[in-house]
Amino acid sequence: MPRTIAQLQAELEDAIERDKTRNDQIANGEKEYSDCFLSDWASQLNISKLQRAIWIAENGGEDWFTELLTLDDKPTYAKLCKTQYGYAWRLPNGVWVGRSQSISPETQEKYLAKKGFKEEQVLHLAKAVIKGEGSACYVGSRKVYTKDCQCGYCRDVANYYQIENDDD
């Protein structure tokens, strides 16, 4: 069940208070920093995640994501995947659409247009998550697909990728 903004804000205040208490104990010599550096790191990630969750909730449960569309604005339901050659889009039929290695947005746009596609930022249901692994973690957003969504896009993606309701 999704948490309300008030619940998220209360969790954030608790997390900040715990972090402050731990930092005060370290400053007063009651705890060694080396004994709690992992707790500090995890606490900062959790605080960032809660801040992101509040931001998403305040924006109607949505966040901006890059999507691959056809040139006539039809969704492709593609996933952006990291490959050994950089990032590429994987279409539901298994076809890969590579991206230009160019930094220039204009070149990137022309490259995809030759293949019949374009990338655009679209609003989509989202939830805050901690991504990555090890020390390379960061807070970001993940799309949420539900089979009972009325937009059709969610339902198609959820059915194709066999995702159960993902609205926690």
Q: How far is CA 19 from CA 31, 45, 47, in A?
A: 13, 11, 9
CB contact at 8 A, 57 and 51? no
Judged by DSSP in three states, 6 sits in helix
Phi, psi of 53 (to 5 degrees): -65, -40
What are the structural domain ranges in the chain? 1-58, 69-121
pTM more than 0.75:
no
Interval 107-124: pLDDT, tens? 989 999 999 999 999 888
Interval 33-65: pLDDT, tens? 777 777 888 888 889 888 988 988 898 888 888
Q: What is the mean pLDDT of residues 80-103?
A: 85
